[in-house]
Amino acid sequence: MSEPVEHSAVSEYQFLVENHLRIIYPEIDHTTFARDLIQIMCPDGKCQTPQTHQNHWDQSNVVMITYGDSLLTEDQQPLETLLQFSEEFLKETINGIHILPFFPYSSDDGFSIIDYQQVNPRLGDWTHINAIAEKFQLMSDLVINHCSSQSEWFQQFRRGESPGKDYFFCAAPEDDLSEVVRPRTNELLCLIETPNGTRYVWCTFSPDQVDLNFANPELLRELVKIIKLYLDHGVDIFRLDAIAFIWKVAGTSCLSLPETHEIVRLFRTLIQFVAPKAMIITETNIPNRENLAYFGNSNEAHAIYNFSLPPLLVNAMLCGSCQHLKTWMMSMPPALHGTTYLNFIASHDGIGLRPAEGLMSEEEIGNMVAMMEQFGGRISMRTLAGGVMRPYEINISLIDAMKGTLAGEDEWQVERFLCAHAIMFALEGIPAVYIHSFLGTLNDQAAVMETGHNRSINRHRWDYHKLALALADETSIHSQVFQGMCHLIKVRRRQPAFHPNATQFTLHLGDSVFAFWRQSMDRQQSIFAINNISNQEQIVPLSEINLIGTDNWTDLISGELYTDLRAELVLKPYQVIWLTNRWSRD
């Protein structure tokens, strides 16, 4: 019997890429096209076979989400100011920065890209991006479902010129589009006159955001060049924006179709053979079960956004009950090694409501929406079949969302806000914190009036010097929030039991106490995360937590030692205790 042939990394790379292409593009020359894509990704012919089921993260991973111009000064480029702030204020708190689209754009605060290969000159240039990537793990958006109507590609489409004339997805008004799922209320098809006649281009999000045609392999080739460019400039994490919408077939929902999943697998293969520690994160603001599918068989996304967490957690804080939060958490499968969740509560968008479908009743969602409006929030709608309008997203600053409960405003705003984040920091997965959550930024109603867009409410731009003064004022809400957030994160980052893939088990201590157990992968550290999510004092007998009597138990947050395991925990409103048998606070 002959010895098995040992394939080189390049041979394996070629084999896998070809297999992806056979599924996506059955009619093309897969061998030649795969070779072309690999040549783009590793022109020197050097690559390495990635190890499967490897965690490229640990408990120290914390990502900050920000626009490139969230902080402004008169004498610096915004990206320089961002780096200065991150090094001065957050050096021991975060290790990753997600800079929202930093390219020239025409609308949607960056998500309508004109030129994928340039940094927006109002922010800085590639040298500033490189400088951030040298100090922090850099996460960048790959906005490829659509691009700007002002892009050169779309101008070529209008003129009937190559290559752009074949880069955009078109349909006909008579096509069966009744099942298409969309997050917007504008018309799906936009009429464009071209030298070749009238065309109806597909616009999932807005007329300025024209959907690209992934059925054209030449477009894919151009997008792979963009991926390689970003890798060369230090991008470690690729956020695949609105990826669920990229493949369209009339008569279907045009959401998360099989070809979409295969393209994600292709991107992962193309990236990981040249950058084995790089990550792909899918941004799929869809119901929970569909979202989980983007893990694939540990061969798609390294991480998926935990989109159900924000509405469930905000609702729990509003009503003082963790019933839905517990039910959801018990239904969530542990992420396999090599995959994890990306946890967040607030982002540049809003609190999505679709991921709450099937987890909360329509009445409960309606109550939450109504209270968020009382707290100054705005509500974005989507159109269902038959023209029915339904709330799609709550637009509000998270600190304002924590003003009170369903009974109205109260005095526990900051405590409630920090409790919500403490829950997120303790959960399985990597935490991502929006910059305005770090800063306790309030609703920016003036920005909404200026732009006419609901999402502007949570996209404030700070004058850096005014911010520094606010953070130095210990009486300000901004300082209280910032100090509280940094303390929690610094403690979290030292705990092996908070590794994104460490064991997690839900506890049952009543509706007003949301509690769960984490255990490090070496089984040396246990942490019981116990959270009073109500504005009333709660009492928890230590005997109900089932602590091991031979261990010493300490609250990591306060430093308090618990020696009498027959005693009771008396939890103040929104108090959090991280009870551990292994002291790793400092």
Confidence of residue 514 (pLDDT cuts 50, 70, 90): very high
Whether 523 and 469 share a structural domain: no
Task: Output the pLDDT for position 4.
Answer: 38
Please check the confidence at residue 292 and state whether its pLDDT lies above 70. Answer: yes
Please check the confidence at residue 29 and state whether its pLDDT lies above 50. Answer: yes
Task: Output the pLDDT for position 5.
Answer: 37
Closest CA to 322 of 508, 167, 459, 482: 508
Whether 481 and 515 share a structural domain: no
Instruction: Give the model confidence (pLDDT) of 101-150 as tens digits.
Output: 999 999 999 999 999 999 999 999 999 999 999 999 999 999 999 999 99
Whether 427 and 383 share a structural domain: yes
> Which residues, 6+ apart, have CB-to-CB distance to 488 below 8 Å?
418, 421, 422, 425, 557
Whether 443 and 553 share a structural domain: no
Please check the confidence at residue 56 and state whether its pLDDT lies above 80. Answer: yes
Please check the confidence at residue 381 and state whether its pLDDT lies above 80. Answer: yes
Whether 455 and 571 share a structural domain: no
CA–CA distance, 382 with 134 (Å, rounded to integer) = 41
Whether 553 and 447 share a structural domain: no
CA–CA distance, 476 with 552 (Å, rounded to integer) = 37
> Which residues, 6+ apart, have CB-to-CB distance to 29 below 8 Å?
none
- What DSSP string describes 537-575? -EEEEGGGTT--TTS-EEETTT--EE--TTSEEEEPTT-
Whether 435 and 467 share a structural domain: yes
Whether 432 and 518 share a structural domain: no
Of the residues 462, 492, 522, the one at which a domain ends: 492
**Structure-token pair, residue 494:** 């030292």
Of the residues 466, 492, 518, the one at which a domain ends: 492
Domain for residue 209, yes or no? Answer: no
CA–CA distance, 474 with 483 (Å, rounded to integer) = 9
Tell me the mean pLDDT in the region 186-201.
95
Measured CA to CA in angstroms, residue 394 lies from 368, 369, 403, 545, 579 at distances of 9, 7, 15, 36, 34
Domain for residue 473, yes or no? Answer: yes
Task: Output the pLDDT for position 3.
Answer: 38
Tell me the mean pLDDT in the region 237-241.
98
Please check the confidence at residue 1 and state whether its pLDDT lies above 50. Answer: no
Task: Output the pLDDT for position 472.
Answer: 97
Answer for the pair 102, 80: CB distance below 8 angstroms, yes or no: no
Domain for residue 430, yes or no? Answer: yes
Please check the confidence at residue 384 and state whether its pLDDT lies above 80. Answer: no
Helix then strand then coil, % of the chain, to nearest 5: 35, 20, 45
Domain for residue 67, yes or no? Answer: yes
Please check the confidence at residue 517 and state whether its pLDDT lies above 90. Answer: yes
Whether 373 and 509 share a structural domain: no
Whether 314 and 342 share a structural domain: yes
Whether 469 and 526 share a structural domain: no
Tell me the mean pLDDT in the region 249-271.
97
Domain for residue 532, yes or no? Answer: yes
Answer for the pair 514, 531: CB distance below 8 angstroms, yes or no: yes
CB atoms within 10 A of CB 175: 15
CA–CA distance, 290 with 325 (Å, rounded to integer) = 18
Task: Output the pLDDT for position 584.
Answer: 53
Instruction: Give the model confidence (pLDDT) of 541-557 as tens digits.
Output: 998 997 877 778 999 99
Active site residue 58: no
Domain for residue 258, yes or no? Answer: no
Task: Output the pLDDT for position 2.
Answer: 38
Answer for the pair 295, 304: CB distance below 8 angstroms, yes or no: yes
Residue with token string 């679709």: 354
Q: 550: domain CATH number?
A: 2.60.40.1180
Tell me the mean pLDDT in the region 29-38.
97
CB atoms within 10 A of CB 21: 21
CA–CA distance, 9 with 303 (Å, rounded to integer) = 25
| Binding positions for substrate | 108, 146, 239-241, 348-349, 455
Tell me the mean pLDDT in the region 66-86.
97
Q: Which of 241, 400, 444, 555 is catalytic?
A: 241
Answer for the pair 163, 218: CB distance below 8 angstroms, yes or no: yes
Answer for the pair 442, 74: CB distance below 8 angstroms, yes or no: no
CA–CA distance, 388 with 390 (Å, rounded to integer) = 7
Task: Output the pLDDT for position 7.
Answer: 57
- SS3 state of residue 394: strand
> Which residues, 6+ apart, have CB-to-CB distance to 348 below 8 Å?
65, 67, 100, 109, 434, 455, 458, 459
Q: 78-89 vs 126-135: helix axis angle to the nearest 10?
A: 10
Please check the confidence at residue 6 and state whether its pLDDT lies above 50. Answer: no
Percent of the chain with pLDDT over 70: 98
Tell me the mean pLDDT in the region 458-485.
97
Domain for residue 371, yes or no? Answer: yes
Measured CA to CA in angstroms, residue 460 lies from 408, 445, 513, 546 at distances of 25, 10, 33, 46
Tell me the mean pLDDT in the region 519-525.
95
Whether 426 and 480 share a structural domain: yes
Instruction: Give the model confidence (pLDDT) of 524-537 as tens digits.
Output: 999 999 999 999 99
CA–CA distance, 259 with 238 (Å, rounded to integer) = 19
CA–CA distance, 24 with 30 (Å, rounded to integer) = 10
Q: Which amino acid makes up residue 55?
A: N
CA–CA distance, 160 with 41 (Å, rounded to integer) = 30
Q: 371: domain CATH number?
A: 3.20.20.80
Task: Output the pLDDT for position 288.
Answer: 84
CA–CA distance, 295 with 354 (Å, rounded to integer) = 19
Of the residues 443, 469, 492, the one at which a domain ends: 492
Please check the confidence at residue 508 and state whether its pLDDT lies above 70. Answer: yes
**Structure-token pair, residue 65:** 């989400």
* Domains identified in the chain, total number: 2
Domain for residue 326, yes or no? Answer: yes
Task: Output the pLDDT for position 70.
Answer: 98
Instruction: Give the model confidence (pLDDT) of 313-341 as tens digits.
Output: 999 999 999 999 999 999 999 999 999 99
What is the residue range of 318's domain? 63-99+306-492
